[in-house]
Structure 1
């Protein structure tokens, strides 16, 4: 699994730093000149439904309505849809074989976002693979350009999808292909904002921020800002590799009409990787959930911050962080390692650990740091006859855990020190070196670096629990990825 993850990240990194040398096209909300897209004075109106492989489509600011693509899924030549920015708008130095810079106006074309109401495939045809949606941002904090709780427009998310009330999916690949036979390989989505319909969109429909019903393989989500889903954020029935990194995922809604979750797996899912993300106010069944004929293996969830802001009254999850629900479903090798869980709650007095209701499951639960969990909640592990590797976790001012085997947990129900520099104001670094959050289990890659790319153990030989290795630095620097697929300071 680790080799697959690293390979996918290397491919993505190369695509971002090596000029494409493909033909570039200028695209706007309205056309000008001859509308050919040969430059900004002759920009085309909106994206054509059929895109040319190997080409790059630069988008100016504006609202583009809904987009339906019909590009054939024929080969591995990549298509790139990119937001035009002041520093990258289609010159030869930007990697274009043709220069489209004539007529460029930064104030009207490169000062805001390019927004769609919905982005989706159509019909029952295979959807295109090898496609990049690039908002063309530079920010290195999770998401793209804003910190959590800030309500300003994240301009570094150059591309945006804004759902309407009643919309059941924001970004839909393989719209009518709920069969796993119409696979869409090698998508990359980065520096994109996806805004759901919010609490009002929790109705008879099931809103998902990203839905891939035909199957998405080797899918990379990097520096994306997801927020206000009416139900779920990801609904992925089939995948052989799906990575979510350096992103900020904020707030969904759950009710008896539509049970929410962060990740919803069905059928056959393998090699899912979530790391270095900030995840806020997830409510519903669970956070990572497997149900409806689900066979899911090799989930690596590490170096994330899962939190509820101070003063929030939004409920949490009823069936655990990991939920493998209904007879017949199976979760194999699901790992929850080196994460921070802060001020969280289990809805309906449920458990915050793992839940199953079917076949034997195998879970790994190590080196996590819990702080301020609702006292009536508990850390509980249900295995349905499977196995648990559990230990070296810290629970501070939290519900008493029901520990698994080989546990070296430090359990302090009340009066524990606050480990974080200023978590209510989104500074999650460790405030000091303290025995209550040292003593992490030594693990190999990818778990031997922290959220910011600091090596584990640190220079002092100490391995900290949670997402951050203590370094004496309370700032939160940018986490870009390097060729080895890890974050670097």
Structure 2
């Protein structure tokens, strides 16, 4: 019996050791032993080597660009958490003033390996799009990528996987630097420098949530041969595009199984807000774009050089590779002018466009193709239950349940980012349950068209001047 007890205790010690997660503390300006054991003896910077399975709490302060390169141990994550008064790891020596501001990382992060969770804890989302973030990645150097996912050999496999970033402001030096100042950036290439001809895999299982990406000289986001990404509750605003550094709000090459939901896109320029490009032999497949708001401010709308070349969700003009299984549901598109404001996939297969709301979108697509929507081979692109307010369809034929409204403003105050409706639209198409909630968590009881469900509304919006196709 005694031997059994000794074995049991030994196994308990081993199990406890395996499952234990040590908490470390980091505070710029700490004057203790610099060993991370509490807030008095906190590390003054993130140490060069981090421990798998452990959590690192970061106090307010300014820190240098950090490289995450710790060897993988199975699926063990390393957690980087912003310390705030409500959650600071309970270390001795804590003062609320250590966590009531922002932890800034100059020039951001480089990821060599994966399995990291970056959590700023506060800020972001539809209640706080632009402020209150726990972490901030601030660009200072030209051409730097603030979330650089290019891996150990700069482009080549294996690229870092299983990364989440939340409640973080990601901002570069400004919109018109003329440099390759990018936000979240990944690119997959072969050893000979060709782009994934041998199907090099990009980063997988990445989640970006409650973040604010803004003011880039080029891309806020570039994905390349990626899979299983979620970008949600995030504001993506103000990039720049020119002949030397052409860009979009989100540029993708050949990625699959991507979700973009509950985001706010502001003043994205180039080919479009979200643009899918070919990456032979890989194709873009299984994209769910739903519950988002796409907006051009008035100043941006009147300048074609700052507008969208091919549409809101689109492909490049020169692309011939098919994009397969694309959904564009319950999005709101506001004030998009310039060249194009629609969804354009001439080689798309199974492209579905339902329950969207366009307001003040009167752009052409090079004056020859459709203005607001839906170019394909006919049977492969399906659209219906969309509402167009002050958004002439021009070359597009209205679908059976589409609404065309000649005038009126349906929003409470869109110029100040209140996108709630003053009255309801006609009911949209009832979709799968996973699309049945808006960005505020409201259940789509009436399937209001556009991003935000109108709650406690008894009447449908039917102003004079409406032409309803049903």
**TM bin (shorter chain):** 0.7 to 0.9
2:442 maps to what in 1?
A: 454
Q: Which structure 1 residue ranges, 5 or more long, are not aligned?
A: 1-19, 92-100, 149-153, 474-489
- C-alpha change, 1:243 and 1:200, in structure 2 (3 Å) is same
Match of 1:369 among 357, 377, 401: 357
Q: Give me the whole-angstrom Cα distance separating, in 2, the residues matched to 1:386 and 1:68.
A: 48
1:24 maps to what in 2?
A: 23
Residue 383 of structure 1 and its aligned partner are, at CA, apart by: 2.6
Tell me whether 1:261 sits opposite 2:248 in the alignment.
yes
Tell me whether 1:234 sits opposite 2:221 in the alignment.
yes
Residue 49 of structure 1 and its aligned partner are, at CA, apart by: 2.5
1:221 maps to what in 2?
A: 208
Whether contact under 8 Å (1:226, 1:248) holds in the other structure is: yes
Tell me whether 1:129 sits opposite 2:129 in the alignment.
no
Tell me whether 1:191 sits opposite 2:175 in the alignment.
no
Match of 2:234 among 243, 247, 258: 247
Whether contact under 8 Å (1:120, 1:175) holds in the other structure is: no
1:41 maps to what in 2?
A: 40
Q: Give me the whole-angstrom Cα distance separating, in 2, the residues matched to 1:379 and 1:104.
A: 55
User: Which stretches of structure 1, 4 residues or longer, exceed 6 Å deviation after superposition?
Assistant: none
Mapping for residues 297-308 of structure 1, pairs under 5 Å: 297-308=285-296
1:8 maps to what in 2?
A: none
Tell me whether 1:316 sits opposite 2:290 in the alignment.
no
2:192 maps to what in 1?
A: none
1:52 maps to what in 2?
A: 51
1:476 maps to what in 2?
A: none
Mapping for residues 60-459 of structure 1, pairs under 5 Å: 60-91=59-90, 101-107=91-97, 109-121=98-110, 127-137=112-122, 139=123, 141-142=125-126, 146-147=128-129, 154=131, 156-175=132-151, 177=153, 181-203=157-179, 205=180, 207-213=181-187, 215-267=202-254, 269-293=255-279, 295-312=283-300, 313=302, 315-325=306-316, 326-345=318-337, 347=338, 349-350=339-340, 352-356=342-346, 359-374=347-362, 378-383=371-376, 387-403=380-396, 406-412=399-405, 414=406, 416-433=407-424, 437-456=425-444, 458=445
Whether contact under 8 Å (1:184, 1:216) holds in the other structure is: yes
Q: Give me the whole-angstrom Cα distance separating, in 1, the residues matched to 2:108 and 2:325.
A: 33
Question: Per-residue displacement from partner, 1:125-177 (whole Å, max 9, x unpaired)?
Answer: xx32221101121x5743xx7445xxxxx2x3111101125133111022564
- C-alpha change, 1:195 and 1:106, in structure 2 (3 Å) is same
Mapping for residues 458-477 of structure 1, pairs under 5 Å: 458=445, 462-472=446-456
Taking only aligned residues, the RMSD between alpha carbons, in angstroms, comes to: 2.4
Question: Per-residue displacement from partner, 1:325-383 (whole Å, max 9, x unpaired)?
Answer: 334533111111101101112x3x34522144xx5543211110001113656214333
- C-alpha change, 1:192 and 1:131, in structure 2 (3 Å) is same
Q: Give me the whole-angstrom Cα distance separating, in 1, the residues matched to 2:80 and 2:205.
A: 18
Residue 74 of structure 1 and its aligned partner are, at CA, apart by: 3.5
Which stretch of the first structure deviates more once superposed, 52-61 or 372-381?
372-381
The higher radius of gyration belongs to: 2
Structure 2 residue matching 1:334: 3-state secondary structure: strand
Q: Give me the whole-angstrom Cα distance separating, in 1, the residues matched to 2:235 and 2:447.
A: 26
- C-alpha change, 1:36 and 1:179, in structure 2 (3 Å) is closer
Q: Give me the whole-angstrom Cα distance separating, in 2, the residues matched to 1:350 and 1:191.
A: 32
**Count of matched residue positions in the alignment of Structure 1 and Structure 2:** 415
Whether contact under 8 Å (1:240, 1:270) holds in the other structure is: yes
Question: Per-residue displacement from partner, 1:186-227 (whole Å, max 9, x unpaired)?
Answer: 211111110022223333x3x321012352211111111111
Structure 1 residue matching 2:434: 3-state secondary structure: coil
